[in-house]
Amino acid sequence: MMHALPVLWQACRVANMHSLILFDLDGTLVDPAGAITGGISSALVSHGFPEPDDDALQAMVGPPLAHSLTALAGVPASRVQEVMATYRAGYVATGMARSRPYPGIARCVEALTDAGAVVAVATQKPEWLAEELLEAQGLRHLFASVHGSPRDEAATVGGKAPIIRAALERHASDALRPVMVGDRRHDVEGAAANGIACIGVGWGFAAPGELEDAGAAAVVHTADDLLEVLRGGL
């Protein structure tokens, strides 16, 4: 039962538990509740671009937005910044408040911390915006640090790998058994580029089989399952 987990973990810290656990944000910790897909669609339409279908919009959650707008929505590079600015303004105004933590995830993170793990966030969302979202959802205090993209998203290169690397370097003394937790293939690939495993969560935005095909060490479907996998050290 979820309410008993923190006590259980505090009472018996498992020897092979991961010491550093990095969480993705959207689709892993927080359900955007349509704020991302709906916001991107509205921004595109307001700038005269066609509204993408649902599959394309779902695929835009996770990768760098600048890349998604060009690759999946056909926005010319010269107009990416204006579309992104419109999207970000709407997200800050209403999107963050619409988002919600996934069921059991806050208690999961609390249990990990109580058991002695260092827990941090590694997201491709701009770092300043990730900080604001976590504060708005009452989650920021649960994490030792937050790592994300620079404010100028168009300048982002390398995908998730450098963000995960920054988190690993920040917590180098705690990274004896690091692991990534995420909902898209970019999380799995970024983790692999840094020589660590990734646990996929099935409640996010991955297409069927995406996480398995990318090489996720495990795919879980509830916060309880995630705790069990992390406790076992894979």
For residue range 76-115, list pLDDT tens digits in order.
Answer: 999 999 998 998 899 888 888 889 999 999 999 999 999 9
Residue 70: CATH number of its domain: 1.10.150.240
User: How many other C-beta atoms lie within 10 A of the C-beta of residue 42?
Assistant: 14
Q: Tell me: the pLDDT tens digits for 22-46?
A: 999 999 999 987 888 888 999 999 9
Which residues are annotated as catalytic? 24
User: What pLDDT digit, counting tens, does each position of 4-22 carry?
Assistant: 444 333 433 445 677 899 9
- Write out the residue range of the structural domain in which residue 69 sits: 35-98
Q: Are residues 73 and 120 located together in one domain of the fold?
A: no
Predicted confidence at residue 2, as pLDDT, reads 41
Determine the Cα–Cα distance for residues 92 and 105; give it in Å rounded to an integer: 23
Please indicate, yes or no, whether residues 124 and 86 belong to a single structural domain of this protein.
no
Helix, strand, coil abundance in the chain, percent, nearest 5: 50, 15, 35
Task: Output the domain CATH number for residue 143.
Answer: 3.40.50.1000
Please count the structural domains in the chain: 2
Q: What is the pLDDT of residues 206-225, one digit of tens each?
A: 999 999 999 999 999 999 99
How far is the CA of 178 from the CAs of 37, 89, 150, in angstroms?
31, 35, 23
End of a domain among 74, 98, 122? Answer: 98
**pLDDT value, residue 188:** 98
Domain endpoint, select from 47, 82, 98: 98
Q: What is the pLDDT of residue 34?
A: 82
- Look up the pTM and report it: 0.85
Residues 6+ apart with CB under 8 A from 104: 2, 222, 223, 224
Taking 90 as the threshold, does the pLDDT of residue 139 lie above it?
Answer: yes
Domain boundary among the residues 98, 123, 151 is at 98
Clarify whether residues 94 and 137 are in a common domain. Answer: no
Q: Same domain, yes or no, for 82 and 160?
A: no
Same domain for 74 and 138? no
**149 & 224 share domain:** yes
Residues 121, 42: Cα–Cα separation, whole Å: 28
Q: Give mean pLDDT, residues 121-138.
A: 94
